[in-house]
Chains A and B, each alone.
Chain A
């Protein structure tokens, strides 16, 4: 058994790029669900908005407005085009998406938002897969060629490995930028939550009518939370697309939303550090068990009669499922959650 490889994958899960994508999305979902009580089952759509906001701007719209044969000849440099793409992906598309989801549903009961978010997320993914607009959206193959500008800024040698040989150059750069974004995002969230604004969100989560009777515009606050949480999701999705150098519809299937949910519940909804810890542990366990089982099968620690190498993928999800059941039974508040607070639900 190669214990070194197992430890390596665990550490990578704890601090690596996937942790960053999902932690950012989980921070957003925490604003939605943990603090405001909004049931958003379409966080993948916000992630897709971030990814496609950048990819469409740079890869599809860029040539249309920049080339000699395009509609306009604006001659925007690649660098600026990337910056505009980041802006579109973080500040425009997720905001529009949140308004689309929120305007019809936020005046209604919480379950309506849940239905609409899951439907919109799937509708967007299926639309992006459609070959009808292949020339613009890249259909099911997705869009590439937008991350060059980002990696050009990398001070690391793409051929070398860094940080205890964990990451190759480009990944190292992505992880560092990701950690900076994550640190700023988490601090920002912490500041928001301990302010009177955060207090209103919590009040709305507890009882919307009470907040309204005290003069708080519940609809507006719910919308603000939906938009802001969506922006965090978009940042996660954008970094994910940059990591893959590809924005592809099937990277934003419903499973992605539920991974974000798992990370949030695992860490503890309604806590500042919960989403971060949840995402880290989720990927450490998911990747750690994968490598461990593969090693065990390969070295005949686990005989073929019990499990073959091809079954490892399924078995590790069973283990995650088992872990979640145990969590729900013994620590329903998540890792950082407050048990006392959780117990108040039953009253």
Chain B
């Protein structure tokens, strides 16, 4: 945690949100064809505020997903749909099973029961490493920047379908040099966008916590995803950098990407999400636009304990 207040963080706050005049210049790098974020958000207005609500244009659907660890049922989700082109937050108190559910959605863990459908195709039997090729990419709660690789190497790793990643082709540089140059150009574009180009050749291990989060997000975009899954993108980030990171997340949506992120800080969720899914004790207990969530009795109970009202009443009575 000490890392976060190292020198160099000062360099980041000027990396303001890429919104405003609409010049979120990811160029054609990450723009998802045929997705209109405005329309996708508008569609959500008609969705009922209830757990498991059907969405007009779901990109990811999970049904009857159950994950048990021995006798403990960590996740037991009847039905959930994630709307394409919007930012969905998955929230819940500690131990609600958010990260476990997240791992199940990205196939980093296999459920004991249930089905998951991404872009209309079942991903139940797709191994974790093939999910990226299908257009879904995830980040991790504990940032996985590859310390002993430079920032640019980290970025270049993210590109999919690289010829030079085959062992036999890799020893003939002329087979992959061209593609490598394209990848490098794209990586440099993204680094510029995330205002990290000045640390291009530094080892990722020397970056601060917040910079690593940025790097991980930028690296994920190298995959050219349609859906980005962020596991606690704000965990351990210097408050000065939070706004910039939030700006980048909304930037992804404005480029047509679908974002699902796990978070347990409600303020953050209120600020950027278009739709919120609340989990508690492994189940989905509520869904709705961010404003609706604070008033939902089930959610308040889940966060504060269901007997808090009675406790207050008791106090008043005494």
A interface with B by C-beta (< 8 Å):
188, 191-192, 195-200, 202-203, 205-207, 209-218, 224, 228, 270, 340-341, 344-345, 347
Is B164 a contact partner of A196 (Cβ separation < 8 A)?
yes
Is A210 a contact partner of B167 (Cβ separation < 8 A)?
no
* Given A199-B153, A213-B140, A344-B203, A207:B146 Cβ within 8 A: yes
B interface with A by C-beta (< 8 Å):
3, 106, 108, 127-133, 137-140, 144-149, 153, 156-158, 160, 162-167, 170-171, 173, 176, 180, 203, 205-206, 219-220, 222-223
Is B133 a contact partner of A215 (Cβ separation < 8 A)?
yes
Residues of A within 8 A of B145 (CB): 210
Ordered by A's residue number, 16 sampled pairs between the chains whose C-beta atoms are within 8 Å are A191-B173, A199-B149, A202-B146, A203-B149, A203-B157, A206-B147, A206-B148, A207-B146, A210-B144, A213-B128, A213-B137, A214-B220, A214-B222, A215-B137, A224-B167, A341-B148
Q: In the complex, A148→B149 CA distance in Å?
A: 48
- Complex partner residue of B140 from A192, A203, A210, A224, CB under 8 angstroms: A210
Is A197 a contact partner of B167 (Cβ separation < 8 A)?
yes
Q: How far is the CB of A280 from chain B (nearest CB, A)?
A: 25
Is B144 a contact partner of A344 (Cβ separation < 8 A)?
no
- For the residues of A in contact with B, the DSSP-based class is helix
- Complex partner residue of A202 from B128, B144, B149, B173, CB under 8 angstroms: B149
Is A214 a contact partner of B137 (Cβ separation < 8 A)?
yes
Is A340 a contact partner of B166 (Cβ separation < 8 A)?
no
* Given A192-B170, A195-B170, A209-B108, A200:B165 Cβ within 8 A: yes
Q: How far is the CB of B125 from chain A (nearest CB, A)?
A: 15
Closest to A340 in B: B203
Is B170 a contact partner of A197 (Cβ separation < 8 A)?
yes
Closest to A270 in B: B148
Q: In the complex, A108→B313 CA distance in Å?
A: 53
Is B148 a contact partner of A214 (Cβ separation < 8 A)?
no
Q: In the complex, A215→B148 CA distance in Å?
A: 20
Residue among B128, B153, B165 with max Cβ neighbours from chain A (10 Å):
B165
Residues of B within 8 A of A202 (CB): 146, 148-149, 153
Q: In the complex, A191→B172 CA distance in Å?
A: 8
- Complex partner residue of B128 from A212, A340, A345, CB under 8 angstroms: A212
Q: In the complex, A35→B156 CA distance in Å?
A: 17
Closest to B222 in A: A214
Residues of A within 8 A of B153 (CB): 199, 202
Q: In the complex, A205→B3 CA distance in Å?
A: 23
Q: In the complex, A261→B160 CA distance in Å?
A: 34
- Complex partner residue of A214 from B157, B164, B206, CB under 8 angstroms: B157
- Complex partner residue of A195 from B127, B160, B176, CB under 8 angstroms: B176
Closest to A187 in B: B171
Q: In the complex, A262→B203 CA distance in Å?
A: 27
Closest to A194 in B: B173
- Complex partner residue of A344 from B148, B164, B167, CB under 8 angstroms: B148
* Given A199-B156, A202-B148, A207-B144, A213:B106 Cβ within 8 A: yes
Further contacts, 6 of them, CB under 8 A, given A213-B128, A213-B131, A340-B203: A196-B164, A202-B148, A207-B146, A214-B132, A214-B222, A341-B203
Residues of A within 8 A of B108 (CB): 209, 212-213
Closest to B133 in A: A215
Residues of B within 8 A of A205 (CB): 148
Q: How far is the CB of B255 from chain A (nearest CB, A)?
A: 19
Residues of B within 8 A of A213 (CB): 106, 108, 128, 131-132, 137-140, 144, 220
* Given A202-B149, A209-B108, A344-B206, A214:B170 Cβ within 8 A: no
Q: How far is the CB of B3 from chain A (nearest CB, A)?
A: 8
Q: In the complex, A344→B144 CA distance in Å?
A: 14
Q: How far is the CB of A78 from chain B (nearest CB, A)?
A: 32
Residues of A within 8 A of B165 (CB): 196-197, 199-200, 216
Q: How far is the CB of B73 from chain A (nearest CB, A)?
A: 24
